Amino acid sequence: MRYLPLSAEDRRAMLKTIGVRSIDDLFVDVPREALNAKIDLPRHRGELEVERLLGAMAAKNRPAGAGPFFVGAGAYRHHVPASVDHIIQRSEFLTSYTPYQPEIAQGTLQYLFEFQTQVAALLGMEVANASMYDGSTACAEAALMARRVTKRGRVVVSGGLHPHYAAVVRTNSELAGDTVSIRPLDVEGEEDLAAQIDANTSCVIVQNPDVFGNLRDFTPLAKSCAENGTLLIVVVTEAVSLGAVKSPGEMGADIAVGEGQSIGVPLNFGGPHVGLFATRQKYVRQMPGRLCGATVDAEGKRGFVLTLSTREQHIRRDKATSNICTNSGLCALAFTAHMTLLGEVGLRRMSLLSHEAACKAADALSSVPGVRLATPRFFNEFTLRLSANAAEIVEALASKGVLGGVPGGRLWPNDSEAEDLLIVAATECTTDADIADYAHALSEVL
Amino acid sequence: MKKYTEDHEWVSVEGDTATIGITEHAAGQLGDVVFVELPAVGTKFKQKGEMAVVESVKAASDVYAPVSGEVVAVNQAIADDPAKVNADPEGASWFVKIKLSSRSELDRLMDEASYRKLIG
Amino acid sequence: MAMNAQGRPTRADAATAPGPTFTGNRALQIEESLIFEREFGGTGVDLPEPKAKDRLGSMKRQSPLNLPGLSEPEAMRHYVRLSQKNYAIDMGPFPLGSCTMKHNPRLNEKMARLPGFADIHPLQPQSTVQGALELVHELADWLLELTGMPAVAMSPKAGAHGELCGMMAIKAALDARGETGRTRVLAPESAHGTNPATAAQCGFSVDDIPADETGRVDLSALKAKLGPDVAAIMVTNPNTCGLFERDIRAIADAVHEAGGYFYCDGANFNAIAGKVRPGDLGVDAMHINLHKTFSTPHGGGGPGSGPVVLSAALAPFAPVPYVVKEEGRYQLVETRRAAREDGENMHGGRLTAFHGQMGMFVRALSYMLSHGGDGIRQAAEDAVLNANYVLARLKSEMTPAFPGHCMHEALFDDSFLKGTGVETIDFAKGMIDEGYHPMTMYFPLVVHGAMLIEPTESESKQELDLFCDALLSIARRANAGDASLKGAPYFAPRRRLDETAAARNPVLRWTPTASVRAAE
């Protein structure tokens, strides 16, 4: 077995040093009838065989890069520079642990400090943490944090929030004993959320661009929230939008959370991704997750450490701000490395190129008979209303080699109003030919 | 009159006002104090209620109210500069002053000699 | 002869080391500034300027980002220099108890990067991702076989997330039974902090179970704490002292008899995988840290993956989504409605957007296929063997916390350091200078000055011998009154860092005026 260094002779010698006859003498505390249970699994295999088996499974999937691709709704295909993947495969990053021994983990700690700075700047907030699992869990944690800050028990969720995010919020907040009011589907982005706020409302959760792609300015809502002592949580699922679109901080968000996958991380069929979490300085002790801070060492040299750990489970236990331990370290590295290459200049270009591709796609697709653009003001994602069931159209498009977007029925299976909706995303990877192929295929299947 | 609790708080009473803090022993065990969270003036506590939080790098501890009453003053200086707790825990670095609601509760607390014995 | 006095001297001269270098660098250790301490304005990605006018109107970002962009050579150098300030498994033993730092096979990385896995979208039509769903299903089958359990929820994103999933299922099952009065969860004092934190997040109160003198759950004390208000116990097995709970069946029976559930923290499953099936021990729910037992890398703190196996009683309360196989086709069940149409009473909500950590699933299955059932068992045996070897070799100078053999990790207390002035932390930092990552220190909390050593199966005997010799030498230095350990490490990229200052005056991001001192 190529991964196990001990030889049979080593094992014998070591058992002798330990003073037992057989390995099972070390398992004496296991109930006898449970030890060495028969397990029906194949024997070990060489690399070549494993590659064949997994390669065959991979070959049954249609990768985004294999043809026209317009799927978004919370995960986006952007180009990642080759150097990013090389950096995250450096042994010192890939095979290290959470930086609990800072003297020999300055590499991880410094990039986390840089990550926190970049995330705070992108979201327009004062402080950011060292990442969460993904955008949806970051969103749920934000609602729990609002509960701690306001000591109130009702969460209002916009009808424009990604329904998976809304579901995760509901799961977590209801568990904590809160009520969660999820507003009805809001394709045009016209809901009046301020009217939903009452004296027990801990937070209002909104998304920009929303799940349908609408650009929405929540500045007035932020004002209403502030007047009522309610926190405004702004979610961003397309991090690349932050290069061109008004940030949560610019609108007056109290907590901003996001999915960072768009910058540096592949689609990965939905995970791992990287959750972004930022807030105001005054709430920092109510934040979940790890935080990296600057300090000095015994010789006065600058260095970094994990800090404010008394918020966390390994110290605060049942009174911790969250049970989170492992976060998304390596994806945070991919994010920060890609962001470091892009810089403000590169991100703005990537952002506007994605917007430009989406504008072209919207123009081309909405001119197909039976198609109406439902969201006129968008960034890189928009919603079409089709004259037919969108899920069936998406399947028909897939058989023509076009992955055309996310049908409303997939995200809101219990809402017949969503059946004719198709959410379409474009990025800098989208070519004019992709758009032309899509428009042509759509006119054929509708 | 100064009394002590098993949870390492001290309480010093003048008239019906009780000044409360953590003991020198507790401050030493905690290590460098980095954060103190104090209640708002006007908050009412029952004896043994969680009244404040004191944190070092390695630990967070609740400070319990040694006696019941209403908070009449808090020591903002230690919230602004938590290091003061280590410097003078049983003097200038008191945590809160409360208006006693039941003097008889003091009888259940330890005197200095018993506390010294407790911490050995 | 033809004399040739040209060329370089080839003998090494011994000279006294000079003071600090001009740059602050020390040969291969190169100081590296923050990216923000460079000129702003550039970019390391060649993208064209967009041609068309944008349609963003008033929604355009107003404030500048002030983020630098580095050319590719600058960026590579930045991250490579940073990487060289990290210790890693690929460099040497990383014996962090409870964390399972085993070798990360590179085949797993290669497989996870196949476009058929990495470049597919979670919301593509299911007809276009049949191979991905097959992989999830196959991995689930391996986990079920290894644990002897009937069901598994794949979506939890890490161990603690898996705990949340399992405890949610328990809460839902109790609600379904109408037993809302069960509000208390019992967990040993030695538990990972995530256990009480998770229980609290689910609205339960947490009550400690005391340990007996052998470091295990005190069965009679546990029984005394059980009652009609107990929802569950959360027990790690093997436990955080590195010991198998020998009363595990009796513990499970007692809890079940009292009407509660048994949540097993599976963080240490690597000690018994392929040897013992938790399903045979009375477990109702257990998370499996794929990043520990099945070696998807830790990556400096994530991403992880924490599938949860469930007993028949809890299976109906698993969250969506999950994969089913019908007539040779794989289907992802994503909603409660669809779940009910399946004839199941799915109660659990959604824990995360999408379907879990696919990238970690590929790596874990690659690990499992490579090891096979035989290799997984051998890995568990070697992990236990290595830990016991370390225990046997070190006990002459160091003090084991409990008598007898251990499982996959060896726990010591600090009584061998008593009176030396050296504490656990000094010992740990001394290991850094010897070229090792320290063991887990000051955990579990039930042992004074705890040192928890988990060598894993990835260490050779030769490597372990040197490691043990090095630790013994540190122990002897401590006992000989070597005060220099108090200042260790001396040879790391940084000396001990001032954590008090970091916490008193938190500087959590770079700003042009932040009081972050530049490297001297």
* Domains of chain C, CATH where assigned: 108-365 (3.40.640.10), 373-493 (3.90.1150.10)
Per-residue model confidence as pLDDT tens digits over B71-91: 999 999 999 999 999 999 999
Taking the domains of chain A in order of start, what are their residue ranges?
64-80+344-445, 82-338
**What DSSP string describes A111-122?**
HHHHHHHHHHHH
Cα A300 off chain centre by: 38
Orientation of helix C130-147 relative to helix C358-394, angle to 10°: 30
Residues with Cβ within 8 Å of residue B106, at least 6 apart in sequence: B1, B3, B11, B13, B67, B100
Whether residue B115 is predicted with pLDDT greater than 70 in this model: the reply is yes
Residues of A in contact with B56 (CB under 8 A): 310
pLDDT at residue C343, rounded to an integer: 38
- Amino acid of residue C412: F
> For residue A100, which amino acid is it?
Y
State which fold the A64-80+344-445 domain adopts: Aspartate Aminotransferase, domain 1 (3.90.1150)
B:C CB pairs within 8 Å: 16
Residue where the block lists tokens 């008598």: C403
> How far apart, in whole angstroms, are the C-alpha atoms of residue C127 and residue A410?
14
Q: The complex's ipTM?
A: 0.97
| Regions of chain A short of the pLDDT cut 70 | none
Cβ neighbours for A221, distance < 8 A, ≥ 6 positions apart: A193, A194, A204, A206, A232
The predicted pLDDT at position A316 comes to 85
pLDDT for C12 equals 82
pLDDT digit string, tens, across residues C375-407: 999 999 999 999 999 999 999 999 999 999 999
In chain B, the residue whose alpha carbon lies closest to the alpha carbon of A308 is B57
Say if strands B44-45 and B69-74 run parallel, antiparallel, or are unpaired. antiparallel
Residue ranges of domains in chain B: 2-102
pLDDT at C520: 34
pLDDT score for C348: 53
User: Over the stretch C105-147, which tens digit does the pLDDT of each residue have?
Assistant: 999 999 999 999 999 999 999 999 999 999 999 999 999 999 9
| CB contact (8 A) between residue C350 and residue A117 | no
Is domain B2-102 given the CATH code 3.10.580.10 in the classification? Answer: no
A439: left (phi over 0), alpha (psi -120 to 50) or beta: alpha
Using an 8 Å CB-CB cutoff, list chain B residues near A316.
60
> What residue of C is the nearest CA neighbor of B32?
C500
Residue A74 contacts residue A237 (beta carbons within 8 Å): yes
Q: Quick one: which of B53, A302, A308, B25 has its CA closest to C500?
A: A308
CB C510 within 8 A of CB C516: yes
Walking along chain C (520 residues) 10 residues at a time, the average pLDDT comes out as 76 83 92 92 94 95 94 97 98 96 97 98 98 98 98 96 96 93 94 93 93 94 96 96 96 97 96 97 97 95 96 93 92 69 50 96 98 98 98 97 97 97 97 98 93 98 98 97 96 96 95 55
Cα–Cα distance between C263 and C171 in angstroms, integer? 12
pLDDT digits (tens, 9 = 90+) for C290-342: 999 999 999 999 999 999 999 999 999 999 899 999 999 999 998 865 444 44
Per the structure block, which two tokens stand in for B106?
């003091």
Print the SS3 string covering C423-441.
CHHHHHHHHHHCCCCCCEE
C287 contact A CB<8A: no
Considering all CA atoms of chain A, what is the largest pairwise distance in Å, rounded to the nearest integer? 82
Whether domain A82-338 has CATH 3.40.50.300: the reply is no
Interface contact C497, partner B, CB < 8 A: no
For residue B55, the chain A residues in CB contact (below 8 A) are 310
Give yes or no on whether A64-80+344-445 and A82-338 have one common fold.
no
Q: Does C160 touch chain A (CB under 8 A)?
A: yes
Position C514 scores a pLDDT of 54
Mutate to test the interface with B, among C499, C505, C507 (most CBs of B within 10 A): C499
**C141 interfaces chain A, CB cutoff of 8 Å:** no
- Chain A residues in contact with B60 by the CB 8 A cut-off are 310, 315-316, 319
